[in-house]
Structure formats: C-alpha cells, structure tokens
Amino acid sequence: MGTNPTIEQFIFNCIQDRTAALKMVFESRQAYRRRYYHSECLWDSRRRSVEWSEEEKIVAVSPSEFGFAVLTTGSHPNHRSRYHVKPSGEGWLIDEVDTDCLFCRSAGTSTDCPECGGTGWTSWRDQSKRQEQRAVPPARPNPNEESEGGLLRDPAIERFMTDHFRERTSALKKEMEIFADYARRFYSPECDWTRWVASVQGSEAERIVNVVPTEEGAYVITNGFGFRGMLLRYHLRREGQGWLICEVDNECPVCYQQGRSADCFWCGGTIWEHKNTQGGLTRGKPPEQEPPPENPRFQP
C-alpha cells in the first residue's frame, strides 16, 4: 500500500504531467502552424513551453491559513509562481496559482499598480473581481490610424485569415481536451485552470478590423481574440500563390489604458508591443527592484 505523497512530490508529479500534456499539445498544433505561419514566426509557437515546464523547480514551501504555499522558479523564464495547495482526501489539490506581476516587473513595484496593488503578485481571483467592477472596458484615448482608418477589403487575405481562425479554433478545442484530463488530477474545482488555455470563444469571435498594405505584404488588424479586448496586428507576407503570417504584434496595454505616448516604456509610442525587435519590454532597462515577497499574503 503506497504512502501519501508529500507536497514536494505532488508538485513534482504535477510538473511532470503538465510537461507531458504540453508535448501532446505541441505535436497536435504542428500541421496547423505549418499551413499559416512562417517558420521564423515565434508568436504562439510554444517552441520553448516544454523546456520551460521541465525546468520549473521548487524554491520554498511554507504553511498558510488554508494549507501550504509552494514557491517555484515558474514555468516561464524570469517569472516565479506561487501555488496554493490544500489537503484533499489522502492527497493534495492546487487551489490557486499566483504569478509575478508583469507590470511591477517592468516598471517597479508600486502600490498604484492596477494589477497587484503593490504586492508584486498577480492573483487571478483578485483580477476577476476587478474585471467585474470594470463594467465597461477603457476606451482608447488616442486611437491609431491603422485600426481606425477605412477598412480595406481584400477577399484573398480575408479568406486566408478566416480559414486560419477556423483551424486555430479546432486546435484550441483539442488543447482544451488534453489539459482537462491533466487538470482533473491536480487542480481543485474552484481553480479556473482554463485561463491558461487560449479561449475557444475568443478564437471564434476574432474579426478583421482593417487591412493595411505594406512593402512585403499587409498588416491585418483584428479584435476579439486579443487580451482583454486589445487589438492584434498580423504581418502577412506573400508565399507562392498565398500568404503566411510572419509576425504578430499585441496592442500595447499601457497605451490602451492611458492613451498613446511617445514616452511609453512598454512600446516607445508605436502602440504595438514588438516581440522580435527593440520594442516592447526590450526598450531600455526596467527599474531595479526587489523581488516580491516569498510568503503568501494571507500567511500570519
């Protein structure tokens, strides 16, 4: 008769099973990726997700009011995670997972931070409460010409993007099935693990806002699938008789909230977060800061 797993063994098993699920997801997406994305496009490629998952390690375990808090190096480089683990029968279940606050890591910890209030940690439940209080999403104070100009119609591009949306939705449904099997073994029913999987409903809802010609092809601006209603900008390039996506930009979250600014530390005034250039978080060095506290906020 086996012994009950320790918390450390439970988290180790969770990381192992998550890694196995990520490998299955990665393989299931390859045919879809080859049809629509250039091989050099890293956006949503998951190319390091398996390795990052394998590299996650436990840093500390401390008691809390509801069980234990397990601090790890995180399943993404330079980000830490904090698992809230509670007893369940003869084992354990994860009740919640906090992550390093992205805003505080970029601009310095501040009590004015809209995401964490200065704790340095992003709590999904706290975020959900704040989102419920924001009945209406913020309007863009300074719209940009790419998204607000007259819509350019291009049937070939629209057909390519519509097919892409449809196949991505099918891939996400498969991904949801894979993760649901893994999540049942490690997460409590109260923990909304689906937030780590891109929304199937969002994928179905994505629509083209504008098409902007470029020297190499076109920009396709869309809404509906971006984080919290923000825009996405797809870089399309001619490939034979069709198109391929060579890069995707996210709308700058700071400019989205506060209005476009040439001094924006996030995007430098472009209003787009550039992943593969000197834009976004790579523009300059963020302020030096202490890491968030290791102990849970609710620990006595």
Return the structure tokens found at 153: 């119609």
Query: What is the C-alpha radius of gyration for the chain, rounded to an integer number of angstroms?
Result: 21
For the segment 59-68, what is each residue's pLDDT rounded down to a tens digit? 999 998 889 9
Q: What pLDDT score was predicted for residue 34?
A: 95
Q: What pLDDT sits at residue 274?
A: 60
Written in H, E and C, the secondary structure of the chain is CCCCCCHHHHHHHHHHHHHHHHHHHHHHHHHHHHHHECCCCCCCCCCCHHHHHHHCCEEEEEECCCCEEEEECCCCCCCCEEEEEEEECCEEEEEEEEEECHHHHHHCCCCCCCCCCCCCEECHHHHHHHHHHCCCCCCCCCCCHHHHCCCCCCHHHHHHHHHHHHHHHHHHHHHHHHHHHHHHHHECCCCCHHHHCCCHHHHHHCEEEEEEECCCEEEEEEECCCHHHCCEEEEEEEECCEEEEEEEEEECHHHHHHCCCCCCCCCCCCCEECCCCCCHHHCCCCCCCCCCCCCCCCCC
Residues of the chain with pLDDT under 70: 1-3, 77, 125-152, 274-300
Residue-level pLDDT at 147: 53
- Specify the pLDDT at position 151: 60
- What confidence score (pLDDT) does residue 102 get? 76
CA distance 246 to 182: 32
Domains of the chain by residue range: 7-133, 145-282
Instruction: Report the distance separating Cα 48 and Cα 19, nearest Å.
Output: 11
pLDDT at 300: 27
pLDDT given at position 218:
94
Q: What is the pLDDT of residue 128?
A: 53
Q: Which tens digits make up the pLDDT trace of 193-214?
A: 888 888 899 999 999 999 999 9
Q: Give the Cα-Cα-Cα angle 40, 46, 48 (nearest 5 degrees).
A: 90
92 DSSP β-pair partners: 87
pTM value is 0.76
Please give the pLDDT value at position 152: 67
